[in-house]
Structure 1
Amino acid sequence: MTRILPKSAGLLLLATAASIASFTPLRAETSFTPSQRKEIVEIVRQALKQDPSILSDAIASMRAQGEAAQQAASLQAVHDNAGKLGAANTDVVLGNPHGSVTVVEFYDPRCPYCRKVLPIIDKLVADDSDLRFVEKVIPVLGPNSQLEAQALIAAGRQNAYLKFQHALMSDSSAPSLDRIRSIAQSVGLDVARLEKDMKDSTVIALLRENLDLARKLGVDGTPTFIIGEKTIIPGAASEDDLKAAIAAARKAK
């Protein structure tokens, strides 16, 4: 999974401090004298020396609680933004437009994990005639991602999104506008029109909207899959994991 922002080492330090503080059930500054606080700190220090796993267990527990809270917040945001997730007519929709289950993928064309799952997505869409698959491009890996994302949306205006996407994301040459021109020409696109559409304000606005929505949902890396309104799978999910989530969403209807 390509992360949008790296995990801060400061979070680990905060978790450590909070873990130690959790050994005192009441606020130390109001409940204990200085000598009592000193004694408590010494007890904690000795406990950690005798069993260092106490600290790692506490940090793991806090991390799990934080992740669960983030997951709950993200799912609430999915519910609140359901209309923007699956109904926008500017998104690329694969499979059955009226499928009973919708999968939304946030991806960056330069993300290696997004490239890895591309054949899995192709297979899911081909095998499941009742699946609606929505692709939302979010250029999070810098200027080259922005350029390629604009080209992808522009290719869609020539009804060549899939052809161009697969050619672009399977090509390993250095990123550049010339590379985009060459790939576009190889799949039969009108290159001059593609370049013009890439600069269109509507295309730029769509990508900005996708990024804003990803932030609201707590998406912190690519790819991220949202299945229905109950499941979020970050990272390069396996075919089996995606199938199981789709089946669960279908059963829940």
Structure 2
Amino acid sequence: MSKQNAGLVAVIGFLVLALSVLGTLRRQPDRLTTCNGSEMNALLAADLRILIPQHRDALLNDLASPIAGNPQGDVPLVSFLDYNCPLCKEMDLILQQALKHDSNLRIVRKQLPVLGPASEFAARAALASHKQGKYEAFNRALFAFPGLVNQRTTLVIAARVGLDVEQLKRDMEGPAITEAIARDRALANELYITGTPALVVGDEVIAGVVETAGLRSCIADVRANAKVQSSTAAKSAL
């Protein structure tokens, strides 16, 4: 084959490939609707379906991340919240209700203090409270506070829930707390999470508040997909 003919074949091949890709993109929706009714770019959603499994261990098995609900639950849900985020206060109430009605739900708590030093202080205190076995009580009290928490109110709330405040202050300044928050921030960045509240449910990132019905739908989808995968794996093993 002459160089001219070879070049022509290469050009034709490139055009065929380009038209094929263009046709595929046209068939795919530009936007997808998540289970809280918000929209997500379809390409971003596809990217997350690859990224989330790659970061599953960091999402679910970081020993510094407190666990709420059933530690052996069949549906893990990862929350990224900020104690001074008004929508996070709303989201936490919904999560608390979900825990009451679903005994197989496992919530992994990540810290994402995006609203300044006061949020950072509260996040550090919350992680430090985990060492005293009072994270959930402290977490609920911080979110229930009517207004913004600062350093003083954070410590007052800590005392009210029975924490040893002096021990808390020592623990929250330790390198382990700094490293845990840094890991949570890096993980959020890897998953394109830039604000709060955000949840990771299955292979989906949900930004913003998820109403109770939407959250239940998400959880049901994760369970259904898990059953399908388990059934497929069982058939493959035969």
| Structure 1 residues 1-253: aligned runs within 5 Å | 67-173=41-147, 175-229=149-203, 231-253=204-226
Whole-angstrom distance in 1 between the partners of 2:89 and 2:148: 16
Q: CA deviation at 1:176?
A: 2.8
Structure number with bigger Rg:
1
SS of 2:78's equivalent in the other structure is strand
Aligned-partner Cα distance in 2 for 1:163–1:62: 42
Unaligned 5+ residue runs, structure 2? 1-28, 33-38, 227-238
Q: 1:45-67 CA distances to partner (integer Å, 9 max, x unpaired)? A: xxxxxxxxxxxxxxxx8777981
CA deviations over 1:190-238 (Å, ceiling 9, x no partner):
0100111110110011000000000001112211111122x22210100
* AA partner of residue 106 (structure 2): R
The answer to whether the 8 A contact 1:109-1:137 is kept is no
Residues 138, 174 of structure 1: alpha-carbon distance in 2 compared, 3 angstrom cutoff: closer
The CA distance in 2 between the partners of 1:62 and 1:130, in whole Å, is 35
- Tell me the TM-score normalised to structure 2 length: 0.76
Once residues 188 and 66 of structure 1 are traced to their aligned partners in structure 2, the CA distance between those partners, rounded to angstroms, is: 42
The TM-score, its normalising length taken from structure 1, stands at 0.72
Structure 1: where are the runs of 5+ without partners?
Answer: 1-60
Q: Deviations over 1:126-146 (max 9, x none)?
A: 211111111111111111111
Residues of 1 paired with 2:159 and 2:30: CA distance? 52
Superposition misfits of 4+ residues, deviation over 4 angstroms:
61-66
1:32-52 deviation line (CA, Å, top 9, x unaligned): xxxxxxxxxxxxxxxxxxxxx
